[in-house]
Amino acid sequence: MKPNDVILHSVTKAAVVIILTFSIYLFFGGHHNPGGGFIGGLSTASGLVLLYLAFDIETVRTNIPIDFKKVAGFGVLLAIMTGFGSIFFDVPFLSQTFGHFDLPIFGETELATAVLFDVGVALAVIGTAITIILSISEDG
C-alpha cells in the first residue's frame, strides 16, 4: 500500500521556498552581518535535502538535473580564479577590489570581488553536502 504523505509534500513545498530564501539572505548578509558563503551554502543544501526526504531521489533528480560533483569542482575553481585574476592586474594573489555601481533595480550598490569568492565557497559547500547525502543513500 502506498503511504499517503500529502501533508509532508505540501509543507515541504512551502518550507523549501522559505529555507532557500533565508539561505540567500544569509549569503548576501555575510559582509556586514553573521552569515556568508559557508552557512549560506549549507542552508541551501539543507533545503535540497528536505526535498530529497519528502520526495524520492529520482523525482528530485528529474526536476533538478545537476551533477553536484561538478558544482563542487566549479565552486572551488571559481574561488581560486578570483584570486588568480588578481595576477593579471599586477597585484598580489587573492587581492580584492570593490566599486559602487548604479544598477537598474537596486539603485546604487556596492559590488565586491569577495562576493565571487563567496559564491565559489557556497557552490563548493552545496556540491559537497549533496554529493555526500546522495552517495550514501544510493546502492552501488
Partner 1 sequence: MNNIVILPIIIPAIAGLILVIFRKSVGFQRLVSILAILVMGFVSVILMGQIRREGIQTLQAGGWAPPFGISIVADMFSALLLLSTGTVALFCLLFAFQSVGKEREAYYFYPLFLFLITGVNGSFLTGDLFNLFVCFEVMLISSYVLISLGGTKLQLRESIKYILINVVSSSLFLLAIAYLYAMIGTLNLAHLSIRVAEAGQDSLMTTVALLFLIVFGMKAALFLFFWLPGSYSAPPTAIAAIFAALLTKVGIYAIFRMFTLVFYHEPQITHLLIGILGAITMILGAIGAVAYWDIKKILTYNVIVGVGFIIAGLASFTSTGMMGSIYYLIHDIFIKALIFLLGGTIIHLTGTSKLNEISGLIRNHPYLGWIFFIAALSLAGIPPLSGFLGKVFITRGTFETGYYWLGAIGLITSLMVLYSIMKVFMNVFWGETYLSKEMEKGKAKGPIMFPLGFLTAITISLGLGAEGIHEYVRLATEGLLNPNLYIEAVMGGNQIR
Chain positions contacting partner 1, by CB under 8 A: 69-70, 72-74, 76-77, 80-81, 83-84, 87, 90-96
Question: 16 vs 114, which CB is nearer to partner 1?
Answer: 114
Residue 81: which H helix or E strand, with range? helix 68-88
Tell which residue, 3, 8, 38, has the closest CA to residue 23. Answer: 38
Minimal distance, residue 55 CB to partner 1, in Å: 27
Residue among 55, 69, 53 at smallest CA distance from 129: 69
- Shortest gap between Cβ of 101 and partner 1 (angstroms)? 22
Q: Least distance from C-beta 119 to partner 1, angstroms? A: 15
Nearer to partner 1 by C-beta: 18 or 91?
A: 91
Query: What would the DSSP string read from start to end of 83-126?
Result: HHHHHHTTS-TT---EEEEEETTTEEEEEEHHHHHHHHHHHHHH
Rank residues 31 and 70 by Cβ distance to partner 1 and give the closer one: 70
